[in-house]
Amino acid sequence: MPLAKRIIPCLDVTDGRVVKGVNFVGLRDAGDPVEIAKKYDDQGADELTFLDITASSDNRDLILHVIDAVASQVFIPLTVGGGVRKAEDVRRLLNAGADKVSINTTAVLNPDVVKEAADKFGSQAIVIAIDAKAVNADNTRWEVFTHGGRKATGLDAVEWAKRMQAYGAGEILLTSMDRDGTKIGFNLPLTCAVSDAVDIPVIASGGVGNLQHLVDGVLQGHADAVLAASIFHFGEYTVREAKEAMRAAGIEVRL
Amino acid sequence: MKIAIVDYGMGNLHSVTKAMELVAEGGAEVVLTADPAVVASADKVVFPGQGAMPDCMRHLEESGLKAEVLKAAEEKPFLGICVGAQLLFEESEEGNTKSLGVFKGRVIRFPQAKMIGAEGQKLKVPHMGWNEMFIVHDHPLWAGIPDGDRFYFVHSYHFAPAEDIAVIESAYPYRFAAAVARDNIFAIQCHPEKSHHAGLQLLKNFVNWNGQV
């Protein structure tokens, strides 16, 4: 019996509260991070990812309190991303109780931060978040974007993933910008291309609208884990229902 | 009763501390410490570790905690976790690191040639996620944990014991020792502090353990 494929609910956090919205439009308060984390934990989530979307730098440290509170009550792995600029930021998040820290824009602007953080804290703690968008109509080549998807980098997503592995990344969180918010499913060719190109685990993200999409992400996209936000936040499905659907499709899960 | 969690500067000890405090339920004092005297005065010792093995070994030596850790491993209920568990072996392939030698055997990397799944697919390293734990020998710390329950792993190297100390095995894709034990020592590769109910049960069993098998 092999290693289980993971289901990871993703929570957007701003100013210390969980928010939900569609494409960052109409964000509304969705509640207390600890309560929401516990709910997903009870449903059988394998890990949780927190994305800090706090706009004001004055309130950046609030995420540390959120992580500290969640990590004191929820005993599954926690990943935190958003606003990581230097290795010291990684240290502060880990000390607050995060198990892994995801790095996105900074990895592109200053890849040595990835190397430094992996050396200091171990590859297991370093997740590289890649936001990728197709650059041709065939959906066979993808470019990396930064700054929340606003800036093109000219980097090829598959080559970038390989390079980040060489720099010491322990995992890749791969988001398809073409699919994010569309609810039509993961970009499977992208997911498959990246996952097959690297030896480290790849988390598929962006586009999940139903449970079959999660199944497809694993079976066709070769993802090691699947991340979703809205299908869980708006109560369409529980994590348990998602796992049952994956198991019914022959995927090994932790139930 | 005092349980010392050894802090030699390697890794995230927040979760293991919080988890131990939760399961101790006030019945034991849980102390995160870098002070050899506190380790010496503790009734039980938790020895965690994260990151690269050479760094862990160097930090342990520079911290001045090595002698007390070795002493605790001889006489007190002792729980090694992740790299803390790996350090108990003689050496590791990771940076060809000489380690504490409490257990006979080495720590080896998952060999690339063997990382092929049942359907011929490539298996990723690190071995990251929830995998099954199979009981090889009964142990008091595994009381109340069903055979085949899943724990959270994240590692690229695993124990290759040269003595008969494996109590729990996992498979990726081949069977490997996921937990080893001898007398007062229990050492586990995965992360009980991140393994939900089953992991907390293990930690609770450690709180209640008299160090005998």
Q: What confidence score (pLDDT) does residue A21 get?
A: 64
- β-strand partners of B65: none
Which residues 106-125 of chain A have a CB within 8 Å of chain B? 119-125
Instruction: Decide if A153 is inside a domain.
Output: yes
Domain extent at residue A182 = 6-248
Residue count of chain B, please give it. 213
Which residues 73-132 of chain B have a CB within 8 Å of chain A? 112, 117-118, 121-132
Query: Could you tell me the two tokens for A201?
Result: 């685990």
Instruction: Decide if A158 is inside a domain.
Output: yes
**Total of domains in chain B:** 1
Cβ atoms B152, B190 nearer than 8 A: yes
ipTM of the complex: 0.93
Residue located via tokens 């820290």: A101
Q: How far apart are CA A232 and CA B24, in angstroms?
A: 33
Torsion of CA B139, B141, B147, B151, to 10 degrees: -140
Q: What confidence score (pLDDT) does residue A26 get?
A: 65
Give me the phi and psi of A44, to 5 degrees please.
100, 20
Q: How far apart are CA A49 and CA A9, in angstroms?
A: 6
Tell me which residue in A73, A95, A222 faces B14 most closely, judged by beta carbons: A95
Instruction: Decide if B164 is inside a domain.
Output: yes
Quote the crossing angle between the two packed helices A62-71 and A87-96, to the nearest 10°: 40
The answer to whether B195 contacts A75, with C-beta atoms less than 8 Å apart, is yes
From chain A, the residues in CB contact with B123 under 8 A are 3
Look at residues B200, B16, B188 and name the one whose alpha carbon lies nearest to residue A99. Answer: B16
Instruction: Decide if B213 is inside a domain.
Output: no
Torsion of CA B46, B50, B53, B54, to 10 degrees: -100
Instruction: Decide if A143 is inside a domain.
Output: yes
The answer to whether B122 contacts A72, with C-beta atoms less than 8 Å apart, is no
Instruction: Decide if B194 is inside a domain.
Output: yes
Q: Does B144 touch chain A (CB under 8 A)?
A: no
Tell me which residue in A2, A125, A225 faces B118 most closely, judged by beta carbons: A2
Q: Does B135 touch chain A (CB under 8 A)?
A: no
- What Å distances lie between residue A187 and A103, B32, B119, CA to CA? 21, 45, 23
- β-strand partners of B181: B186
Domain extent at residue B115 = 2-208
Q: What confidence score (pLDDT) does residue A163 get?
A: 98
d(CA A10, nearest CA chain B) in Å: 17
Residues of chain A with pLDDT under 70: 1, 21-26, 55-56
Provide the residue-wise pLDDT of chain B in tens; the chain has 213 residues. Answer: 999 999 998 777 888 999 999 999 988 999 999 999 999 999 999 999 888 888 899 999 999 999 999 999 999 999 999 999 999 999 999 999 999 999 999 999 999 999 999 888 899 999 999 999 999 999 999 999 999 999 999 999 999 999 999 999 999 999 999 999 999 999 999 999 999 999 999 999 999 999 999
Phi-psi region of B49 (alpha: psi -120 to 50; beta: other; left: phi over 0): left
Instruction: Decide if B99 is inside a domain.
Output: yes
Q: What confidence score (pLDDT) does residue A252 get?
A: 96
From chain B, the residues in CB contact with A6 under 8 A are 129-130
Instruction: Decide if A224 is inside a domain.
Output: yes
Cβ atoms A179, A227 nearer than 8 A: no
Is A12 known to be catalytic? Answer: yes
Q: Does A222 touch chain B (CB under 8 A)?
A: yes
Q: What confidence score (pLDDT) does residue A148 get?
A: 81
**DSSP type of residue A136:** S
The answer to whether B194 contacts A77, with C-beta atoms less than 8 Å apart, is yes
Rounded (5°) CA angle A69-A74-A75: 125
Tell me which residue in A4, A72, A222 faces B150 most closely, judged by beta carbons: A4
Q: How far apart are CA A83 and CA A90, in angstroms?
A: 10
Nearest chain B residue to A70 by CA distance is: B15
Q: Does B66 touch chain A (CB under 8 A)?
A: no
**Of residues A52, A89, A99, A131, which has the active-site annotation?**
A131
The answer to whether B15 contacts A125, with C-beta atoms less than 8 Å apart, is no
Cβ atoms A231, A209 nearer than 8 A: yes
**Total of domains in chain A:** 1
Instruction: Decide if A178 is inside a domain.
Output: yes
- CATH no. for residue B27? 3.40.50.880
d(CA B151, nearest CA chain A) in Å: 10
Cβ atoms B206, B72 nearer than 8 A: no
Is A131 known to be catalytic? Answer: yes
Give me the phi and psi of A20, to 5 degrees please.
-140, 150
Query: Could you tell me the two tokens for B124?
Result: 């990723």
Residue located via tokens 């494996």: B166
A and B: number of Cβ contacts within 8 A: 109
**Of residues B59, B127, B139, B191, which has the active-site annotation?**
B191
